[in-house]
Chains A and B, each alone.
Chain A
Amino acid sequence: MNFLQMIIPLNITKTISDWIYSIMPETAASYTIMVVIAVAYLALFAVAGLYLVLLERKVAAWFQLRIGPNRVGPWGLLQTMADALKLVSKELTSTTKIDKFLYNLAPYFVIVAALMAMAVFPFSKQFQAFDINIGVFFLIAISSIGVIGILLAGWSSNNKFALIGAMRSGLQTISYELSVGLSILTMVLLTGTLQLSEIIEAQRTGGWLILQGHIPSVIAFMIFMIAGTAETNRAPFDLVEAESELGAGFHTEYSGMKFAYFFLAEFINMFIISSIAVVLFFGGWLSPFGITENIAWFPEVIWFLIKVLGLIFLMMWFRWTFPRLRVDQLLTLEWKYLLPLNLMNLMLMAIVIWLNWTI
């Protein structure tokens, strides 16, 4: 036991799991551990989502030459906590003509899908809940579930704005899923594995994948960020909510905590898209140029978070710069530009790998 293993979370979790195994039979213990990890992730990412909301509000304020939340707590740090408390304590209102079962089910679809995707991310070498060999595939599959929740919410609300918003969401997610999938596939060509931890290991020696694959990688990154922004239903692709046209889109009829689930899921989805980009293009938790590789006690999760926050900032920059697309422009962008470019890029990447032009 050296100093390294004293602080890294692995050991804390190992101690806890040893203790749980010692007090109950093996099957019960493994289920208990699953529940404990799930609750820990839930708490962690609920708080992370709240702080992303705060970050969004601050960044938005600075883009518009305002100050942003600065009253609750030092520098407004407790603002979103207070908002969440308010939302928890609010009455859950609904209209009379809703489809009750689907209406209540929809927010859980959205938030559960968002939180499930978090399970496979390697935040550092040890900090990974679920390291499966089809990690990337799992992520693509899970990220499509969220749209079912949005469609259900729009349909069951029995509100025309909500329905229009939900249908736009379906249209948008189905279209842009292709681009997300193909740009991820381009990078998978380069690594030859779908397992997220191995994708990061492949970047330890040859440099980050965005450097290894140079031109096709950069194109894939740009396409991934555009399609990923569309996938999270954020501006400039926020036709789903479109405040100026649809009220609040699919969550018009929701209030209180159910609304908060949709709101939180949007920010967790943003975190997910940024995390996928960090793992696939920017070396996950690997430090730039390996500067902290030999410092044993350095928590690598910091590098992961710095990179993720950088990409989240980029998405916020998009949001506060670009105006919303029209539906036909949205489809033109995907089917006439992103998809053909993506297929070309896939071929280019194949050629690059075939001729050994990778760096």
Chain B
Amino acid sequence: MSYFSDIYKGIKTLLTGMSVTGGYFIRARKGAITQQYPDNRETLKMFDRFRGEVVMPHNADNRHYCTGCQACEIACPNGSIEIIWDRVVDPETGKKKKEIDKHIYHLAMCTMCGLCIEACPTNAIVWAQNYENSVYDRSKLTKILNQPGSSVLDGIED
């Protein structure tokens, strides 16, 4: 005769559920997860895993890690990345080597899949956590990731 024990179990599990949500209700005033976005624009920071756009970090001497290997360009499934590169002669060793002229990134086409970042052997490109990416003109979404006058950091190719 499991009739009454079923009722007892049913009520018990319902009360368990209600105690869980009741706990949330009591804590809601302190731990609300809502971001009141335009108001807290200065302090709002996105979490680390957020994929805002692809950027190329530069150090203080305007040097980056990109060797121009084009692995990201090959990895990109829809051609959001274009690399314009050149062959220059290294003044120290006298060998010819590849150097990027422009690392062009089309944010408008990017699906944020992250394959380029996984493909990069030198971690030259990373995700940025910015989120206000709207612009009035579509051409502004085509970005050149390497800063003007920057060059690759020595010894990265090795």
A residues apposed to B, CB below 8 Å: 59, 61-67, 317-318, 320-322, 337, 341
Bound together, the chains give a CA A64 to CA B14 distance in angstroms of 18
Out of B21, B29, B31, B33, which one reaches A63, CB within 8 Å?
A: B21
Q: Could you tell me if B28 and A65 are in contact, using CB atoms closer than 8 angstroms? A: yes
Tell me the smallest distance from the CB of B59 to a CB of chain A, in Å: 41
Bound together, the chains give a CA A281 to CA B7 distance in angstroms of 23
1/0 per residue B2-21: CB within 8 Å of A?
A: 00000100000010011011
Residue of A nearest to B19 (CB): A321
Q: Could you tell me if B31 and A317 are in contact, using CB atoms closer than 8 angstroms? A: no
Given A65-B28, A317-B21, A317-B25: 18 more A-B contacts, CB < 8 Å? A62-B24, A62-B29, A63-B21, A63-B24, A63-B25, A64-B28, A65-B24, A65-B27, A65-B32, A65-B34, A66-B32, A66-B34, A67-B32, A317-B22, A318-B18, A321-B14, A321-B21, A341-B7
21 A-B residue contacts at CB 8 Å? A59-B25, A61-B28, A62-B24, A62-B29, A63-B25, A65-B27, A65-B31, A65-B33, A66-B28, A66-B34, A67-B34, A67-B36, A317-B21, A317-B22, A317-B25, A320-B21, A321-B21, A322-B14, A322-B17, A337-B7, A341-B7
Residue of A nearest to B35 (CB): A67
Residue of B nearest to A313 (CB): B25
Residues of A within 8 A of B31 (CB): 65
Shortest Cβ-Cβ A-B pairs, 3 listed:
A62-B28, A321-B21, A67-B34
Question: Interface extent on B, as a size class?
Answer: 10 to 19
Residue of A nearest to B17 (CB): A321
Residues of A within 8 A of B36 (CB): 67
Residues of A within 8 A of B25 (CB): 59, 62-63, 317
Residues of A within 8 A of B24 (CB): 62-65
Tell me the smallest distance from the CB of A164 to a CB of chain B, in Å: 27
Bound together, the chains give a CA A320 to CA B29 distance in angstroms of 17
Find the residue from A63, A320, A321, A341 having the highest chain B CB count within 10 A: A321
Tell me the smallest distance from the CB of B53 to a CB of chain A, in Å: 28
Bound together, the chains give a CA A63 to CA B14 distance in angstroms of 16
Bound together, the chains give a CA A63 to CA B27 distance in angstroms of 9
State which residues 31-65 of B face A: CB under 8 Å. 31-34, 36
Residues of B within 8 A of A66 (CB): 28, 32-34
Tell me the smallest distance from the CB of A140 to a CB of chain B, in Å: 25
Bound together, the chains give a CA A65 to CA B20 distance in angstroms of 12
Tell me the smallest distance from the CB of A44 to a CB of chain B, in Å: 28
